[in-house]
Chain A
Amino acid sequence: MSDVDLSRVWLGVAAQVWRREPGWLERLARRLLRSPGLARALVTTPSLLLGWVIATVAVLGAGAAATSWTGTPFVALFAPAVAGAGIAYAYGPGVDPAWELSCSMAVSDRMVLLVRALAVFGLNAVLGLAASAIAAAAGVSGSAAGVPGSAAAVTFDWLVPMTAVCALALAAATVARSAMAGVAAGLAAWTITVLSGQSVSGRFTAAVTDSALILPYLAFAAACTAIAWYATRIPKGTP
């Protein structure tokens, strides 16, 4: 009888039993992102619960502000910065318990953050679409007026376009192999969309020339910059 290496056999069995079979979304993401690591980061985003809650609150808050003041283009321009800072904080050194470890990985931590932003916007867009449909159905049957409109406004004016912008940013980052190039492409696309929309409706000039809004805009921009800086800083740790 030939010798059998039982420990080797057991490791083979354990490898098959313990392996996590990727679902269709993860398999699709692996192909598109050309990175199994980024694909896993994408699908596990909602399971990192505290980060998910913080990021979702930031995204929905920014979206509510952006859609409430649709006549002022700078609000729409700054809202992605607020949402981005919220996501970076939620999945950055501020909250993510494994951030230090992530910083030593071959897959860039900035690419992981970009993937997480797409997951947050994308899943919230799906939830927003469902909420809009439910609210519309309830509105038809006689519920409070205006609710279907506000849910749909946040979904269609904010969550869906921002999901598209994040997807574009990620695509650009994947092709260019640079997260910063992806962010630049996403920001450029959003800025062009907002400003061209405002120019067409003639509101852009009025908002820019309204001097009363300049100080709040500057304060807002400074706050966003501070949050983004804090969320993406290098952790100092114990010297």
Chain B
Amino acid sequence: MKWFDYAAPRSLAEAVNLLAGNPRARPFAGGTDLLVQMRAGLREADLLVDLKHIPELNELACDSAGNLRLGAAVPCCRIYENQEVRRRWPVLAEVAEMIGGIPIQSRASLGGNLCNAAPSADSVPVMIVLGAVCRLVGPGGERKVPAEEFCTGPGQTVLRPGELLVGFDIPAPEPRSGACYLRFTPRKEMDIAVAGAAAAVALEDGLIRRASIALAAVAPTPLAVPEAGRFLAGKPPSPENIRTAAEMARAAARPITDMRGTAEHRRHLVGVLTRRALEAAVRRAAEVNS
């Protein structure tokens, strides 16, 4: 790797200052994507700004309304070891357990997963269906961006120069709701998703009050499928309706053929995974006591 300097700011203001003052400065938390890319010459930096010592980015707590504040630098292992998260947002714990493998999960963060903005990022469809909102801070101040708007292309995000992702606001789960993320990988672990589907549903009186579906690895960015959610709203969670929603997800997918999968296989998988994720989400929603 080319030479770079290193800074470990202790405050958000200091971090923003460092990033804003140097266009060739890069922030990082777990570093599990960034170091690999820098070694491959895909990304460069003169200064790496370590975000792990900033309190706001390490937050993992519920506010008084039961919403989750998840700091961008919190490593996956802290997420899935947290009893509150496991109980109230199990899909979040599950996706944190999918990324990479045990040693990766000791360091990698969901904030990093989002900012890396790979089309195959597993946690982004989950954030989308959970209705997560991203909190950004930069030289211009603070702003909020819904998770589904954050990634704009492969490796590209809405972050402006000097801006960084501080954390996620994840709403308290609705009564009788459940979510599931399923992905297909050739090996049982370790792999980048060939295709992934996240589904969240909230039930009321036996009908789907609200549904949200988002896909991984089948478009230039993680892909929300709002039309499938709109279709399911107000309908019973029957096999036919679920199949139709899965078909809509399949139709929305724009996969390519690359070394991880063929377009045809990916498109097919979207249908299968969406169907299975919806079925699981519905099962979960039905089991939950509000």
Do these two chains really belong together in a complex?
no
Interface positions of A (Cβ within 8 A of B): none
Interface positions of B (Cβ within 8 A of A): none
